Structure 1
C-alpha cells in the first residue's frame, strides 16, 4: 500500500465539497477547496483506477460534476503522471502490444489455413461443388455458418450501439429470428428440396413460370446485398479497425477485403462454411470475455439497471430531451404510437422481413441446401436458433454498459461534440463496443477481440460474396447466355464478386450518415422497405396453389414500388437531430418503418390474391413438388434430370486460347516395325496461368471428362424416424425457450 499519493484535478472549476467515500482501502486524510481542489489520502493506487471506478465507490457527486475525468495521480513527492488523452477522443492512441499482435497473427494463420485446406479438400470445379459445397456438409458447421453469416460486424457495432442508445428493444430482432430459422428447415426447405432448386429466383421461375419474376428478384437481391449487407459490414468492421489502429477508413477496408477475397473467390461455399465454423468459436470466446469485463465494471445486472438511467453526457444540447435514456430501456414491448419500436410492429411488421431473411435469402438458404440430408439441415437450424439467444447478452447489454462507463462519448448529444468524438454529428452510439474493447481489456485479450471483429466481418462478407455470385451466375448470366459452358460460369461468378466489392465501397459514405448514427436501425429500416413484398410472394407460392405468375409479378411490382418510394423519401428527408424541428412529410414522420412493413405486406398480399383470382390458374404440372401440399407428388419424367445442370460443353464452347487441347493419334508403319505414336499438341501454360486456373477451380480441366450419370442437385428429404423425433423434440424445446425470453423481457 502506497501512502500519500495525490488525486488532483486539472483546474476545471470543481465545487468545493466532495462526498467522502466509504471504501476501507481509501481513507481521506485532508481536503482543500477552490479551483484546484485536491484530495489527499492513502490507499492502493488501484483504488483510484479511473473515473469509472469512482462511480462504483460512491463518488457520484465528484463524478457527476466532473464527468470528463480530469484526474491524474501522482505519488507523494514525485512528478505528475501523464494526463489521459482528451476525454472527447473516443479511442486514445494505443499502440498494439506484442501480445495483441501475436493473437492477430495466429488468428489470420488459422483462417487462411482452414480456408486453404477446404479449398484443396473440396471439389471446386463443378457448379455444385463451388456453389453448394458438394452437398456434403454436416449439421454443426452449417449451424455455425448460419450464425456467423447472420452475426456480422454490423451486429457487434449496430446491436451494441442501439443498446447504448435506446435499450434492449433491438433484441426483438434476434428473438424473432429463432422462430424463422426453425421455419426454414421444417417448412420451407422440404419444398426447395422437392423442387430441386439451388437459388431462390430459380424457385420462383419453376413455381410460376417465365423469367421476369426471377430476373427481377435476382436484381433486387443484389441491390439488397449492396445496400444492407456488404457496405454495412465493411463500414462497421472498418470503424473498429480504423479507430483502434488509426488507419484510413478505406485503407482498413481494402486490407480486410484482400484476405477475405483470397479464400472466398478460390474456395467456394465449402471454404466459406468451414471458416465460418472456426470464426463462430472465436466470436463467442471473445464476446463472452468482454461481456464478463463489462458486467464487472458496472456492478452486474443490478448495477447496469441502476446506472444506465444516470448515464448522461455532461455537455448535452440546450434541448433537455436530447441524450436522455429511454424510460422503457429494459423493455422489448413499447408504446404503439410514441416509442422507437412499437410492439405491434415488433410482432407483425418485424416478422415479415425476418421470414424473408431466414427462409428466402440466398445467403442463409444456400447453407442449408449444402447439407448432406434434411436431418443435418434441421440440426444446423437448431444450432443457429440456440445461438440466437446470445446477442442480447453478448452485444446489447455490453453496449448499455459502455454508455454507463463512457457517457460523454457514447451518449453524446451535442452535434459539435459528436463530430469531434466520432466524425458523425448524428450521434456516436456505434462506438460503444469498440470503446469497451480498447478501454477495458488487457493486452492479448484486446488482440483477441480485434480478431473477433475481423472474424465477424469476414464471415459475413464471404457468405454474401458467394451467394451474390451464385445469383448473378445462375439466374442472370444463365439467362443472358443459356448455353454458357461450366468454365465460363465459374469465371463469371468470381469476377462478379470483385465488382460487387467495388460498388459496395462507393455506398459506404451514405451508410455513415444514416439513421441518427444507429447502424442497426439503418439496416432494419431499408429491410422493411424492400423485403416484405418478396417474402409475401414466396409464402403465397409455397402455400397457395392458386397463385399464378401474373398475380405474383403484379404483387411484387406494387410492393417494390411502394417500398422504393418510402426509401427515396427517407433519403430525401433524413431524420432530424434531437435539437432540430421535424419537418418531414407525414408518411415519413408518423408511419414507423415497422408499420410500413405491415402496409407493404398487406398491399402485396391483396394484389397477388386479386390478380390470381382474376386470371387463369396454374396447371397441376406447374405446381407439382413446388408447394407444401404437392411436395410429395411423384417426379415427372421431365424432372428426372435437373434442368439447371449445365450442359456438357461443346468443342466450340470451350475453345479458348488457354484451354484448347488437341490430341492427334497416328501410326507410322515401317518395314519390320509397327509402333503407335501419340502427339499431344496441348499448348504449354505458364506457371502464372496454372495458378490462376487452380485459383478458379479449373486446374484439372485441360481434358474434358466424358459426361457421366447426372447426379441430383440436392439431398433427399427422407429422414430416419428416430432422428426425426429427436429433432422435433429439440425444436419444441427451442420454441419454448424463445417464448419464455419474449415474456420475460417484454
Structure 2
C-alpha cells in the first residue's frame, strides 16, 4: 500500500490564481464568522464553550446538523459507493427524513440510574470517533487536497488539522455551529453548480442517459475470468436482492433504521447541537430542516459519483491491483476518488476553487463537530466523574488536550482505513458502526418503550452486544474482502451475513439479554420511568429553574418549579437575591445544567 503522489496526482488541470482567490476568500469568511461567534458567546464557561450558551435558533442548529453529518467522509464515501454500486446508498441519507425524535445525552443515565452505562457510552463514542469519524474525514479531506495540489497524503492531513483545530479549540460550540451554517450554504451552492449547471450531466447526455452510460463504464485493464470490472446491473435500484445485493433490502430497511436511531438519537455529535437550542420548538424545527437538506445528497453527491465512474472508468473503476496502485495508491480500488476526480477534470477556474472550498467546508464542519463533542464526552462524563471538584479552567484544558490525543490516534489509523472494505470509505464507516452501535439502539429503545427494563439488564445487554460486535469487527480486519478474481476465505458468518443484517441480529441479541436480566432482577424505581407524580406535573417546554451552589457546582438542587405562575415568580425573585446560588433556566423535561 502506498500514498504516492505520482501519476494520477499529477493534476491535469492547473490550480489557477482565481482558484486561490476563491479558496482564500472562503477561509477569510470562515475566520470572520468564527471570530464573531466566539465573541458573541462566552468561551470561558462550560456552558458557553460546550453548549454555546444554550441560546441557538433552529436554522443554525439545522445547518450544523446537516454540515456535521455531511462531512468530507460522506462527500468522498457516498460518491465513491455511488460510483461502485449505484443509487442504493441514497437510502442511508433518506432514512433521516423519517426521524423526528429529540433526545438528551443524559437520558439513559437518568432512566436507569448509576454511572456504568453513562461511562460506557462515553468511551464507545470516543472509539467510534476515532475509527469512523475523525480518521475517515481526515483521510477523505487530505485525499482531495492531495489530488488538487499534488501534496503527500500526510502533509495534506496536517494542513487539514491545523486549520480546523485552531478555531475549534479557541471558539467552542458557538464557533462550530455558526461556521457550519456558512459551510452548509457553500456545500449546497457548490454541489448545485457541479451537478445542475450541466458541466457533468452534459458530458453524458443528461440524467436520462446516465443509466446506459454507467452500465458500459468498464475499465480497459481487467482481470480475466472475473466479473468485478462490470458495473452492477441493479445500479439504479434502491432496494436490492436480500441475498446477493451489495446493500440488501432487509438491511436497508431494518438494519439501517437501527444505525440511524443510534446516530440521530444518541450520538453526542448530533445531540449536542440540540442541547444548544433555545427551547424544544427550535430543536424540532432544526430536525425538520435537517431532514429536508439530507434529501439533497442523492442528486448532489451520489449522482456525481456515478457520473465520474461513467466518464473515467479506467481510474474510478479500476480493478487490477497494479493499476489501482498507479492511479490512487491502494490495491483494493479507487472509487473514493470519484468526486474529486470529477471536480478536477470538469470544473473551470474559479469554480474549481469553489468546489475545493466545498470539500474543505465539509471536512472542517464535521471535524469541528467531532472535536467539540468528543472533548465534551471525556470531560463531563469521565474526567469530571473522577475529579468532581475540578475547576472550569481545568475542565476546559482537559477537553482541548483530549482533542489533540484523538487526532493523533486517528492519523495512525488512516493506513488501515485506506485498505478496508474494497477501498469504499462509506462502506467501511457503516460496517464498523454496524458492529458497535446496535446494542445502544436496543437499550435506548427498551428504555423508552418498556418500563420494566432496569440498569442491570441494560448494562449487561450492552456488554454482551459489545463482545459480539467486537468479534465481528476483528474478523472484518483479519479477513478483508478479497481482490478481484481472488477466492473469499472468510468464515461463513462473515462471508454470507451482510453487515446490515448483522446489525439486526446484534440488536436482537442485546434486546433479549436486556429483557431476560431485567425480569430476573428488581424493577427500576418509579421516578426513573417517568411515573413519579412530580414528572407528570411538568409539561414539555415549560420554563423551569434549577439552583446550583456557587462554591460547589456538584450540588445541584432538585427543587424545580414553573416560573410562569405568580407564586413561583415571587419565589424566584427572592431566590435570585439569595447568595451563594446560581440559577439556570431550562425546559422542565430537559436535564438541569449543573456545571
Q: Establish whether TM, by shorter chain, passes 0.5.
A: yes
Partner-residue secondary structure (3-state), 1:106:
helix
Change (3 A) 1:327 1:648: closer
Change (3 A) 1:615 1:486: same
1:363-382 paired onto structure 2 within 5 Å: 363-382=269-288
Unaligned ranges ≥5, structure 2: 556-578, 591-595
Q: Does 1:204 align with 2:108?
A: yes
Matches of 2:31 and 2:546 in 1, distance apart? 37
Per-residue deviation, 1:266: 1.2
Q: Does 1:348 align with 2:254?
A: yes
Per-residue deviation, 1:497: 1.1
Change (3 A) 1:614 1:643: farther
Q: Is the 8 A contact 1:164 1:399 kept in 2?
A: yes
Matches of 2:271 and 2:326 in 1, distance apart? 42
User: Deviations along 1:117-166, whole A, 9 cap, x unmatched?
Assistant: 11111112221111111111001101100000000001110111111100
Q: Is the 8 A contact 2:436 2:466 kept in 1?
A: yes
Partner residue of 1:577 out of 446, 463, 483? 483
Aligned residue in 1 for 2:559: none
Aligned residue in 2 for 1:232: 136
Partner residue of 1:290 out of 187, 194, 207? 194
User: Deviations along 1:498-523, whole A, 9 cap, x unmatched?
Assistant: 11111111111111111001000000
Aligned residue in 2 for 1:173: 92
Per-residue deviation, 1:578: 1.8
Q: Does 1:505 align with 2:411?
A: yes
Matches of 1:444 and 1:640 in 2, distance apart? 52
Partner residue of 1:647 out of 537, 544, 552? 552
Q: Does 1:132 align with 2:37?
A: no
Change (3 A) 1:426 1:232: same
Matches of 2:545 and 2:304 in 1, distance apart? 53
Aligned residue in 2 for 1:536: 442
Aligned residue in 2 for 1:484: 390
Partner residue of 1:555 out of 461, 469, 474? 461
Change (3 A) 1:289 1:322: same
1:283-682 paired onto structure 2 within 5 Å: 283-292=187-196, 293-624=199-530, 632-634=536-538, 641=546, 647-648=552-553
Change (3 A) 1:92 1:549: same
Partner-residue secondary structure (3-state), 2:101:
helix
Partner residue of 2:40 out of 101, 121, 129? 121
Q: Is the 8 A contact 2:551 2:580 kept in 1?
A: no
1:267-282 paired onto structure 2 within 5 Å: 267-282=171-186
Change (3 A) 1:471 1:232: same
Matches of 1:570 and 1:644 in 2, distance apart? 50
Matches of 1:388 and 1:432 in 2, distance apart? 20
Q: Is the 8 A contact 1:100 1:447 kept in 2?
A: yes
User: Deviations along 1:639-666, whole A, 9 cap, x unmatched?
Assistant: 974789993599xxxxxxxxxxxxxxxx
Matches of 1:321 and 1:646 in 2, distance apart? 70
User: Deviations along 1:158-216, whole A, 9 cap, x unmatched?
Assistant: 11111110000100101112112x223xxxx3xx3xxxxxxx2x332222122111111
Q: Is the 8 A contact 1:90 1:435 kept in 2?
A: no
**Number of residue equivalences:** 557
Per-residue deviation, 1:229: 0.3
Partner residue of 2:70 out of 145, 151, 161? 151
* Structure 2 length-normalised TM: 0.90
Matches of 2:520 and 2:195 in 1, distance apart? 57
Which 10-residue stretch deviates more, 448-457 or 319-328?
319-328
Aligned residue in 1 for 2:582: 709
Q: Is the 8 A contact 1:532 1:601 kept in 2?
A: yes
Aligned residue in 2 for 1:262: 166
Q: Is the 8 A contact 1:275 1:459 kept in 2?
A: yes
Q: Is the 8 A contact 1:373 1:716 kept in 2?
A: no
Matches of 1:268 and 1:645 in 2, distance apart? 23
* Structure 1 length-normalised TM: 0.72
Q: RMSD of the TM alignment (CA)?
A: 2.2
Matches of 2:359 and 2:249 in 1, distance apart? 31
Considering only CA atoms, is the larger Rg found in Structure 1 or Structure 2? 1
Matches of 1:510 and 1:226 in 2, distance apart? 12
Change (3 A) 1:645 1:460: farther
Matches of 1:598 and 1:318 in 2, distance apart? 37
Matches of 2:547 and 2:129 in 1, distance apart? 28
Matches of 1:152 and 1:643 in 2, distance apart? 38
